[in-house]
Amino acid sequence: MAQQPDQLPKAEVSNADTSTSKPKAPKAAKAPIGAKLNSEPNDLSKPQPAPKAAKAPKAKKKAKDDDDLDLLADLEFDLAADQLIGDENPTQSTLSISADPAFDNHKAGFVSIVGKPNAGKSTLMNQLIGEKLSIITSRAQTTRHRIFGLLNGEDFQIVYSDTPGVIQPKYELHRSMMRFVNASLEDADLVLFVTDLFEDFDETDVIEKLKRVEVPVFLLINKIDLAKTPDQVEERIAIWKERLQTELVVPISALLGQGTASLFDEIIKRLPNHPPYFPKEDLTDRSERFFASEIIREKLLTNYRKEVPYSCEVIVQDFKERGDDMLYIRADILVERSSQRAIIIGHQGEALKKVGVQARADMETFFGKKVYLETHVKVEPDWRNKANKLKYFGYSS
């Protein structure tokens, strides 16, 4: 890869380890992630079509093919091209960035991570970026939104896109989640299809869809650290090679970072020459509020059973700096029924208190500041099925 440190303005020198061009391992001594996020107001009230300004021409080209806009999980609606693009004047910003000769040898592209729930998509993205951006739990459907995570080098920018798992939608919420998955296939330069050693991937429509994706697809067989024998991995590779021809099959352990460094090399090779889509100092397109709400949602998922956490949405209503090193965060936890409200709060408020203590601790690490966290539980009947509510929460694209 061409190095051009002299040509780059200081702000664009990345925080990635470009000397080796390898993704960084999670770092201990480093500014908290939250310090680098954009602080725009309520991210959840505003869907994030994100880098579509620069990406629009490609999305538009693909959108012509109605077939390609079929939904992954057999959904009954179509995506309009505009929904994918979401920018009235896309070419302008593309041209203004491309005009900079400093980026002639620069690679940039969108890498979408797709697969079934629990395959390890979020773990992989965090491993590739070296930061905990996506929430990870052992429960299915933890990731509801499409989350961009950026890995920046002096001469490259990879925009990873972590997506919700491919599921058969039961609620309007699920349909919105699948729209994120579809959008991420439409504008990708490369697709990482994550499966694991044990998964019985029976959804042939997804496989058919992947066969028709125009960009390279890598098939990743994750969780190889759990293999009892090397043969087990070989068998999986053989099975998958019969089902789906992909550019590359890579056995990995997203959890332990096995195979992820060579994966990075293979990804970089296939990215097009393109100026960066985001400022180089950015780590993600998401705002501080988004991460604050995700941290609370993670604690809901780990502290409550069954359906309860899936019925919750977290809205950060207030996010204010208090002095130099204190944040005041006020969040509403929305539930669908008053019985769920009682469960979330618990006996004498004990359950909610635990969520608050755990969330606050994570937020303090993430933002690098003391956090005063206030949470309220509110009933919003049937919010998962209400299109207007979902739009407000940022799910409609």
| Residues lying near ligand GDP in the complex (CB under 6 A) | 115, 117-123, 136, 138, 142-143, 165, 222-223, 225-226, 253-255
Closest distance to Mg ion from the beta carbon of 167 (Å): 12
> 255 touches which of ligand GDP, Mg ion, none (CB within 5 to 8 A by kind)?
ligand GDP
32 or 117: CB nearest ligand GDP: 117
> 209 touches which of ligand GDP, Mg ion, none (CB within 5 to 8 A by kind)?
none
4 or 137: CB nearest Mg ion: 137
> 254 touches which of Mg ion, ligand GDP, none (CB within 5 to 8 A by kind)?
ligand GDP
Q: Which residue is nearest to ligand GDP (CB)?
A: 120
Closest distance to ligand GDP from the beta carbon of 163 (Å): 8
90 or 165: CB nearest ligand GDP: 165
Residue 143 interacts with Mg ion (CB under 5 A): yes or no: yes
Closest distance to ligand GDP from the beta carbon of 213 (Å): 19
Residue 14 interacts with Mg ion (CB under 5 A): yes or no: no
SS (H, E, C) the chain: CCCCHHHCCHHHCCCCCCCCCCCCCCCCCCCCHHHHCECCCCHHHCCCCCCHHHHHHHHHHHHCCHHHHCCCCCCCCCCCHHHHHCCCCHHHHHHHHHCCHHHCCCEEEEEEEEECCCCCHHHHHHHHHCCCCCCCCCCCCCCCCCEEEEEEECCEEEEEEECCCCCCCCCHHHHHHHHHHHHHHHCCCEEEEEEECCCCCCCHHHHHHHHHCCCCEEEEEECHHHCCCHHHHHHHHHHHHHHCCCCEEEECECCCCECHHHHHHHHHHHCCECCCCCCCCCCECCEHHHHHHHHHHHHHHHHCCCCHHHHCEEEEEEEEECCCCEEEEEEEEEECCHHHHHHHHCHHHHHHHHHHHHHHHHHHHHHCCEEEEEEEEEECCCHHHCHHHHHHCCCCC
Closest distance to Mg ion from the beta carbon of 136 (Å): 6
> 253 touches which of Mg ion, ligand GDP, none (CB within 5 to 8 A by kind)?
ligand GDP
> 293 touches which of Mg ion, ligand GDP, none (CB within 5 to 8 A by kind)?
none
Site for Mg ion in 76-135 (CB under 5 A): 121-122
Which residues here bind Mg ion, judged by CB under 5 A?
121-122, 142-143
